[in-house]
Amino acid sequence: MSISGGPSAVNMLRTALPSRKQTLTLDACIHGDSESLDRWLSHFGTERETLQTLGRSAERLRRLLSLLYLRIREHDIGLDKTVVTYLRVARVREQLRTEAVQQACNRVLTTVCNSGATPIVLKGVALAETAYPDPSTRHCHDLDLLLPHDAIGPAVTELLRTGFGRIESPPSASVESVWVADRSGFPIGIHASLHRVGAWNALMPGAVSRSVARNISGVAVRILSPVDALLHVCCSGLAAGSWFSPCWAADASFLIEKNGGAIDWNDLVEKARAGNQAKAAAVAFEYLKSELRAAIPAWVIDALRASSMTSVEIDSLWAALLLSVRERKLGFIRRCGNPVEGAHAAWWLLTRRQETRETVNA
């Protein structure tokens, strides 16, 4: 049996997309129009059901509540007072937390810059200040920084010297990453690569050189260019699994809305192909356009779908799927929708994963 499970891997990757409840909440949060809010309200049912769903950890909606409250107040949607109070408390809590997060980020970024390095700030913290309506509408549970290999040691040494402490890496972290925390326990991940899927780092040197200067939390640092940030957010979000957090879809949507005119879609397609990310990006973009009404040209999705797949890209899709279930083999197999997908998944686990161990930086 040869490795020919590309279509199976693409189909299975769609199981890492947000759930129906997550999608309705994301749509209401991103657009905030009366139609999306009415759909959200009608789907969630009674006051008790709404509160149970919003608070249920399995749905992972708590990180969206501050933004949801903002949208509801903008349109004066009629909700039960108990639900409104619940959302208002979440909004206030997030605003207070954002102040603390920005203070922590200022200390971290200042310290890392003092070590002689200029970090690239990734994901939530970068996008909260550059793409979202306001920073407190994007819950940030950690700070992710990209640094060259040889700059990580001095940066960590300076952080430890100034009161930060080493912590155990999260289960989803790469072994190349170093994790520290400040006295409040706020985690900081310092990474030498953008992705845990090794093949997706093929164009990382170019992404570093294309990064742009920005002021984040009061410190002059760098962030990824819109094209690189969009690919990074979508692909890393799928690999993380939306059951863990659906925030990547909001990140991508706001990134497109904020930088739509600056995104060179031809360039994005070429980079996705060259970086072994075309099929993963197609899955993410299909969802963003069809479910969240993102302004992605249809021809972009068609071009990504039509890209031929190499064995390297097929392996990268299977690796991303395994990561999306926290490398639990049983969970990986359960994603299979039919015997053909199951056969391809089992084949990859038994043979190709051993041959391409470097595909996953774990």
- The reported pLDDT for the residue numbered 356 is 52
How far, in Å, CA of 88 to CA of 134, rounded?
16
How many CA atoms are closer than 13 Å to the CA of 175, on its beta-carbon side?
5
C-alpha dihedral sign at 66, 67, 71, 74: positive
In tens digits, what is the pLDDT along the chain, a chain of 362 residues? 344 678 888 988 998 999 898 999 999 999 988 888 888 888 876 667 777 777 776 678 889 999 999 988 887 666 778 888 888 999 999 999 999 999 999 999 999 999 999 999 999 999 999 999 999 999 998 999 999 999 999 999 999 999 999 988 776 666 678 999 988 899 999 999 999 999 999 999 999 999 999 999 999 999 999 999 999 999 999 998 766 789 999 999 999 999 877 899 999 999 999 999 999 999 999 999 999 999 999 999 999 999 999 989 999 998 898 888 877 877 788 888 788 888 887 878 877 665 554 445 54
Rg (CA), the chain: 20
Cα–chain center distance at 192: 17
- State whether the Cα torsion 228-231-237-239 is positive or negative: negative
CA distance 221 to 125: 12
Q: Which stretch of DSSP H or E encloses residue 357? A: none
Comparing CA positions, the residue from 180, 175, 116, 172 lying closest to residue 143 is 180
> In whole angstroms, what is the distance from residue 217 CA to residue 221 CA?
9
Closest CA to 277 of 208, 200, 205, 204: 200
pLDDT of residue 171: 63
Q: Supply 120's token pair.
A: 């690239």
Predicted pLDDT at 353 = 64
Give dist(CA 310, CA 19) in Å, integer: 30
Distance CA 211, CA 16 (A): 28
Burial 306-340 (b: 16+ CB within 10 A, else e): ebebeeebbbbbbbbbbbbbeeeeeebeebbeeee
Q: Are the beta carbons of 188 and 86 closer than 8 angstroms?
A: no
Give the Cβ contact number of residue 210 at 10 Å.
Answer: 16
